[in-house]
């Protein structure tokens, strides 16, 4: 299955190459296997009761540990969770990446023209297990696997209709691992280092750092993968979701009605369209994920930037660790004092209006190489709406991750080796080349035309 830009012609799939990448040595920015946390402690902290898929996943990862000393010891590390999900021997928990790997393996076996293959013909034990289950539960049980049987089985798994299998979208997996890592005192791509992050709200698909004095998130972090975009079930729709006060905040939380009559849009920090499930879509509509944005910016220029990131992730087959947030700056680019902020809302619950919205992206390519780019976009009423003007407006908003970190007082990607940070975080000109780039309106933000390509 291949996802194309909404502006792409069917005969020209979106393809991209990323040039300013830095190789990341294996394990150089991964979690530590030794940083374990008792499973019982994690269950108490996050309310994961016995029998929940979260508790069962932790126990499965512990039982599958490759260390004899740590296997089955009642504790687990984020690294053990990651290793288990990469090769889930019992095939009980399947990420979007795992689903894509199984699809790819089947297509490779069928490349010679066969319509089916034996269920034990795969290269990994867990893939054989998936094949057998797909043949039995999604097919005719004849010991052969077809595309139709695999598609039907995966559809049932994603719909929660298979008793012994759980779909864990990559985005949900990233937050799950982030919770385990934080409990072990580890940093990860979704949790920056530094003070002043505000109240942390750990959701299922995003991490919110809320500035309670401003009633606006300082930033929201999430992970977006090409596999999630490709595996998103038909029917996930933002029109089914409603803006909702965050139940974790109680009466103090921003309400949808606080924006009424303000002239500002409820601007998503984690984009609704980045949601792999309807539950994620609903979560993205929590008011703790919103910041006041001028309508022209939110609906046109900012939406185009969000589309560009999705295009890039989809076309490269990679994963992006994204932080999106808000800044309050004067004309000289210096932080505004609290008394100088514009606000909306009621007297008892004022909501600060950002002067700028920022987005930083750490892109991990399938080969492990890393790239990084950032935008700091003015939240202005007269943001352009014409497709020819939007790229120029956003291109002028390019900045470095270093600059965003300086303004926030945060080390946004602190888990990266210092040498990698030094190469990536100072660069404000990410080099991405899209074939047939002019066919992709949003993607053109990030592209430079390759010699010899058609415009």
- CATH number of the structural domain spanning residue 316: 3.40.570.10
How far, rounded to the nearest angstrom, does the alpha carbon of residue 178 sit from its chain's CA centroid? 12
| pLDDT tens digits for range 218-273 | 999 999 999 999 999 999 999 999 999 999 999 999 999 999 999 999 999 999 99
Instruction: Count up the domains in the chain and report the number.
Output: 2
β-pairing, 16-18 with 93-95?
Answer: unpaired
> Which residues have C-beta within 8 Å of that of residue 246, sequence separation ≥ 6?
201, 253, 254, 286, 287, 288
Containing H/E element for 156?
Answer: helix 147-158
User: Residue 6: inside a domain, yes or no?
Assistant: no
Whether 86 and 218 share a structural domain: no
Q: Are the CB atoms for 58 and 446 separated by under 8 Å? A: no
Whether 205 and 291 share a structural domain: yes
Answer yes or no: is pLDDT of 444 > 70: no
User: Residue 381: inside a domain, yes or no?
Assistant: yes
Question: Among the three residues 112, 136, 168, which one is the final residue of a domain in this structure?
Answer: 168
User: How much is the mean pLDDT over the chain?
Assistant: 88
Whether 195 and 157 share a structural domain: no
Answer yes or no: is pLDDT of 437 > 50: no
**Bridge partners, 145 (sequence order):** 117
**Bridge partners, 344 (sequence order):** 351
User: Residue 142: inside a domain, yes or no?
Assistant: yes
Whether 163 and 196 share a structural domain: no
| pLDDT tens digits for range 183-217 | 999 988 899 988 677 899 999 999 999 999 999 99
CA angle (409, 364, 390) in 5-degree steps: 70
CA distance linking residue 145 with residue 165, whole number of Å: 18
The position carrying tokens 């998130």 is: 217
User: Residue 176: inside a domain, yes or no?
Assistant: no
CA distance linking residue 402 with residue 422, whole number of Å: 9
Answer yes or no: is pLDDT of 59 > 90: yes
Task: Write down the pLDDT at residue 430.
Answer: 56
Question: Among the three residues 136, 168, 200, which one is the final residue of a domain in this structure?
Answer: 168
Whether 352 and 374 share a structural domain: yes
CA-nearest of 357, 360, 207, 356 to 284 is 207
User: Residue 351: inside a domain, yes or no?
Assistant: yes
Containing H/E element for 130?
Answer: helix 125-137
CA–CA distance from 350 to each of 220, 259, 325, 343, 353 (Å)?
20, 10, 18, 6, 10
SS3 370: strand
| pLDDT tens digits for range 314-345 | 988 999 999 999 999 999 999 999 999 999 99
| pLDDT tens digits for range 121-159 | 999 999 999 999 999 998 899 999 999 999 999 999 999
User: Residue 5: inside a domain, yes or no?
Assistant: no
Whether 268 is catalytic is: yes
Whether 201 and 226 share a structural domain: yes
Q: Model's pTM, two decimal places?
A: 0.91
The DSSP code for 246 is -
Whether 86 and 122 share a structural domain: yes
From 31, 268, 285, 294, active-site residue: 268
The band of 388, judged by pLDDT with boundaries at 50, 70 and 90, is confident
Whether 44 and 21 share a structural domain: no
Q: Is 254 exposed, middle or buried (0-12, 13-18, 19+ CB in 10 A)?
A: buried
CA distance linking residue 156 with residue 230, whole number of Å: 16
Whether 133 and 222 share a structural domain: no
Question: Among the three residues 109, 133, 168, which one is the final residue of a domain in this structure?
Answer: 168
The DSSP code for 235 is T
| pLDDT tens digits for range 282-322 | 999 999 999 999 999 999 999 989 988 998 899 889 999 99
User: Residue 285: inside a domain, yes or no?
Assistant: yes
> In terms of residue numbers, what domain contains 133?
37-168
Whether 253 and 390 share a structural domain: yes
Half-sphere exposure of 153 (CA within 13 A, CB side): 26
Whether 363 and 256 share a structural domain: yes
C-beta neighbour count of 133 within 10 angstroms: 22
Whether 158 and 222 share a structural domain: no
| pLDDT tens digits for range 3-46 | 233 333 333 344 566 766 787 664 456 788 999 999 999 999 99
Answer yes or no: is pLDDT of 176 > 70: yes
User: Residue 265: inside a domain, yes or no?
Assistant: yes
């Amino acid at each position: 299955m291949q996802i194309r830009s909404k502006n792409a012609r069917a005969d020209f799939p979106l393809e991209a190459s990323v040039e300013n990448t830095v190789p990341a040595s294996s394990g150089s920015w991964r979690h530590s296997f030794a940083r374990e946390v008792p499973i019982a402690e994690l269950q108490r902290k996050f309310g994961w009761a016995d029998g929940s898929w979260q508790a069962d996943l932790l126990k499965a990862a512990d039982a599958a540990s490759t260390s004899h000393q740590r296997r089955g010891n009642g504790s687990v590390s984020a690294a053990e969770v990651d290793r288990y999900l990469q090769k889930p021997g019992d095939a009980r928990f399947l990420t979007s990446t795992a689903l894509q790997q199984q699809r790819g393996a089947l297509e490779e076996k069928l490349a010679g023209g066969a319509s089916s293959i034996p269920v034990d013909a795969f290269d990994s034990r867990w893939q054989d297990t998936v094949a057998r289950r797909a043949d039995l539960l999604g097919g005719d049980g004849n010991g052969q696997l077809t595309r139709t049987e695999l598609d039907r089985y995966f559809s049932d798994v994603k719909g929660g209709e298979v008793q012994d299998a759980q779909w864990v979208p990559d985005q949900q997996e990233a937050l799950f691992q982030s919770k385990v890592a934080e409990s072990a005192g580890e940093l990860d791509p979704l949790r920056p280092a530094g003070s002043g992050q505000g109240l942390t709200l750990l959701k299922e698909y995003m991490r919110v750092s809320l500035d309670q004095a401003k009633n606006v998130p300082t930033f929201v972090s999430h992970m977006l993968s090409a596999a999630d975009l490709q595996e998103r079930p038909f029917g996930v729709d933002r029109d089914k979701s409603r803006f909702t006060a965050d139940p974790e905040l109680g009466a103090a939380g921003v309400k949808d009605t606080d924006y009424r009559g303000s002239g500002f849009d409820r601007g998503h920090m984690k984009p609704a369209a980045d949601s792999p499930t309807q539950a994620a879509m609903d979560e993205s509509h929590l008011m703790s994920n919103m910041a006041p944005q001028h309508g022209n910016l939110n609906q046109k220029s900012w939406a185009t930037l969000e589309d560009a990131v999705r295009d890039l992730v989809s076309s490269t087959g990679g994963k992006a660790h994204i932080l999106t947030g808000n800044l309050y700056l004067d004309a000289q680019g210096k932080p505004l004092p609290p008394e100088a902020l514009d606000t909306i809302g009621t007297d008892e619950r004022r909501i600060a209006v950002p002067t700028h919205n920022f987005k930083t992206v750490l892109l991990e390519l399938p080969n492990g190489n890393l790239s990084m780019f950032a935008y700091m976009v003015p939240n202005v009423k007269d943001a352009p709406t014409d497709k020819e003007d939007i790229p120029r407006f956003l291109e002028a908003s390019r900045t470095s991750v270093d600059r965003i970190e300086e303004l926030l007082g945060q080390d946004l990607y602190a888990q990266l080796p210092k040498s990698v940070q030094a190469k990536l975080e100072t660069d404000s000109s990410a080099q991405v080349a899209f074939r047939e780039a002019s066919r992709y309106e949003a993607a053109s933000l990030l592209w430079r035309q390759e010699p010899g390509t058609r415009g």
